[in-house]
Amino acid sequence: MTWLIVILATGTMLVLAVFMTYVLGWANRTFHVEVDPRIDAVNEALPGANCSGCGYVGCNEYAEAVVAGEVPIDKCTVGGVSCAAALAKILGVELDRSWPYRPVVHCGATYEDRLGRNDYRGEHTCTAANVVAGVQGCTYSCLGFEDCVGACEFDAIHMVEGLAVVDYQKCVGCGACERICPRHIITMVPFKKERMLAVTCCNKDFGKDVKAVCKVGCIGCKACGRASKLFGFEDDNVPVLDYEKYDPEQMDELQVALEKCPQKRLLVVGKPSERDLAATAGEEVGEILQPDFKTTVDDTKWHG
Amino acid sequence: MEYLGELILIAVGAAIINNFVLYSFVGICPFIGVSRRVDTAFGMGCAVTFVITIAALLSWTFTYYILRPGAPLTAWVWHLVNPDAKGAVDLTILSYIVYIFVIASSVQLVEMYVRKFFPPLYKSFGVFLPLITTNCAILFACLEIMKHVAGASDPSKVWDLGRSLTLAIFGGVGFTIAIVIMAGIRQDLDNCDVPKALRGAGITLIVAGILSLAFMGFAGVNTQLVVLMGGAK
């Protein structure tokens, strides 16, 4: 009896297996959807992390868009240059020099520089504080509640005196901070060199209004625009650096703009280059001038 | 009318009182994993309902005709082999493996079919289908149905296809209700100041526990429903 049950059970499973194999095999052929083989190949080359850093839901969606030619092939931040090169090989297109994207914080005001700050006792997240009026005077600047710090998986962004500062040594350019910032003051910039020029203010108001809320904000004098064509003003007062044309090797023209800027809002950010380190090796001043507490009188100005 | 009343009881029982996730604690992985945003949670709920229905349909068929003690198809084969055998053959030992097998292959089949003929539908919840092929909520529904088909001592109490499908569909609806509530709470949690030690999985599990306690409050609704429908027992 037991043996017969075993045989019957085995027989049932065998029949089921053969039946299902045939049904699935038949279905596979009948319901076959013609997919561009390149999509599969692109899928293989992508990291498959489905992080949606490229702006698509998953790697598959991005692969479809790439093969359809809707998006550039270098949008995958996780895969980086090697991934873009692999995609270029599959699709048979020339890969332009693709730059690593890194975040730039378009605000340079610490707690001290931001005026009109009030005691805020709500939820300590930027998302919540951004909804409330009057947390601080400037409605464009960094709020300092560390949403971006929490979003960063790589411990590459920190709050320094209430201002988000990117640690470019650790940053991999995933763009999580850019996506989470409720005020959109972080943007991803193609880093053509280790050190890049950035406009560290995004207040769109004019002169007096800016002065009322910030000690260091861009007053919209447009001096930089007159000195260099790389600065555009899209109907606003705050300059936008054209990173497409910007060449870090040719800084002569930009040097004038840097010197003309009365608020010193044009800053070079990123890892210190070898040459900079060598040049400042003998000096004690760094890129950011910290107050020197050795003397009782503090006359150092914060330069960013 | 009596049959309809039973269906209503099964439906309310599966969807709310004995909610799959919050009462029986099955299907926790998608419940925690895909409940970040309400729209994806709803998509997941719909996909689970869809798959559960198909799985229930197939597993009922297999249980009723092959697996249960005295199933007609098995009995027929049994008599071919052994004409003067007595007693019914019981193949319920195969239930788990047959269900997993049937669920996995039928989901594959459905995925191919949907991909070919309903591309928009495939786009909207195609990504969820492979995730839930061997989900425990679906296997749980099949086993629950088996309990009532193979385990019933009285032949008149053996569940037919209608009751099984009711359990499956409303079990899926209950899953959708649970996961959508959870996603709504988690979306609001993003704006809350959660203590650092509880951030992430910790607070999610606490919320799930409280939600489960709240759903325990539905216990006893079924007896009241019986009274309301006039069938005092």
What is the residue-averaged pLDDT of chain A? 77
**DSSP E strand boundaries for chain B:** none
Name residues of chain B where pLDDT drops below 50. 233
Q: Has residue A272 got a pLDDT over 60?
A: no
User: pLDDT digits over A139-156, tens only?
Assistant: 888 888 888 888 887 788
Among A2, A31, A50, A179, the strongest candidate for a mutation testing the B interface, having the largest count of B CBs within 10 A, is A31
Tell me which chain A residues have a C-beta less than 8 angstroms from the C-beta of B117.
31
Q: What percent of chain A has pLDDT over 90?
A: 3
Partner B, chain A 35-64, Cβ-Cβ below 8 Å = 57-58
Which tokens hold the place of A87?
A: 């995609």
**pLDDT in the model for residue A271:** 64
Estimate the crossing angle of helix B72-81 against helix A2-30, to 10 degrees: 120
**pLDDT in the model for residue A275:** 54
Q: Has residue A214 got a pLDDT over 60?
A: yes
Q: What are phi and psi of A109, to 5 degrees?
A: -105, 125
**pLDDT in the model for residue A293:** 46
At A296, the pLDDT band (50, 70, 90 cuts) reads: very low
Among B105, B106, B121, the strongest candidate for a mutation testing the A interface, having the largest count of A CBs within 10 A, is B105
| CB contact (8 A) between residue A9 and residue B66 | no
Tell me which chain A residues have a C-beta less than 8 angstroms from the C-beta of B82.
4
User: Chain A: nearest CA to B94, how far in angstroms?
Assistant: 7
| CB of B112 less than 8 A from some CB of A | yes
| CB of B98 less than 8 A from some CB of A | yes
Among B83, B82, B63, CA closest to B73: B63
CATH code reported for the domain at A37-91: 1.10.15.40
User: Chain B: nearest CA to A131, how far in angstroms?
Assistant: 11
- The residue of chain B with its CA nearest to that of A128 is B191
How many angstroms separate the CA atoms of B80 and B88, rounded?
A: 14
Are residues B102 and B55 in contact, defined by beta-carbon separation less than 8 angstroms? yes
Are residues B147 and A64 in contact, defined by beta-carbon separation less than 8 angstroms? no
User: pLDDT digits over A72-99, tens only?
Assistant: 777 777 777 778 888 888 887 776 666 7
User: pLDDT digits over A10-53, tens only?
Assistant: 988 999 899 989 999 998 888 887 777 888 888 888 887 766 66
User: Chain A: nearest CA to B117, how far in angstroms?
Assistant: 8
Q: Has residue A172 got a pLDDT over 60?
A: yes
| CB of A250 less than 8 A from some CB of B | no
Q: What is the 3-state secondary structure (H, E, C) of A189-214?
A: EECCCCEEEEECCCCCCCHHHHHHHE
Q: What is the mean pLDDT of residues A245-271?
A: 72
Are residues A109 and A163 in contact, defined by beta-carbon separation less than 8 angstroms? yes
Partner B, chain A 107-146, Cβ-Cβ below 8 Å = 123-125, 127-128
Longest dimension (CA), chain B: 74
User: pLDDT digits over B160-211, tens only?
Assistant: 899 999 999 999 999 999 999 999 999 998 888 888 888 888 899 999 999 9
- Helix (H) / strand (E) element for B66: namely none
With 0-12 / 13-18 / 19 or more C-beta atoms within 10 angstroms meaning exposed / middle / buried, residue A148 is: buried
How many angstroms separate the CA atoms of A268 and A303, rounded?
A: 12
How many angstroms separate the CA atoms of B145 and A290, rounded?
A: 72
Q: Has residue A289 got a pLDDT over 50?
A: no
- CATH 3.30.70.20 domain span(s) along chain A: 101-278
Q: Has residue A265 got a pLDDT over 80?
A: no
Out of A12, A13, A31, name the one closest to residue B115 (CB): A31
What residue type is assigned to position A3 of the chain?
W
| CB of A6 less than 8 A from some CB of B | no
- The residue of chain A with its CA nearest to that of B109 is A24
**pLDDT in the model for residue A285:** 47
| CB contact (8 A) between residue B101 and residue A20 | yes
| CB contact (8 A) between residue A128 and residue B191 | yes
| CB of B134 less than 8 A from some CB of A | no
Tell me which chain A residues have a C-beta less than 8 angstroms from the C-beta of B44.
none
CATH class as words, domain A101-278:
alpha beta
- CATH 1.10.15.40 domain span(s) along chain A: 37-91
**pLDDT in the model for residue A14:** 93
**pLDDT in the model for residue A291:** 47
**pLDDT in the model for residue A292:** 46
| Cα B198–chain centre separation | 31
**pLDDT in the model for residue A137:** 84
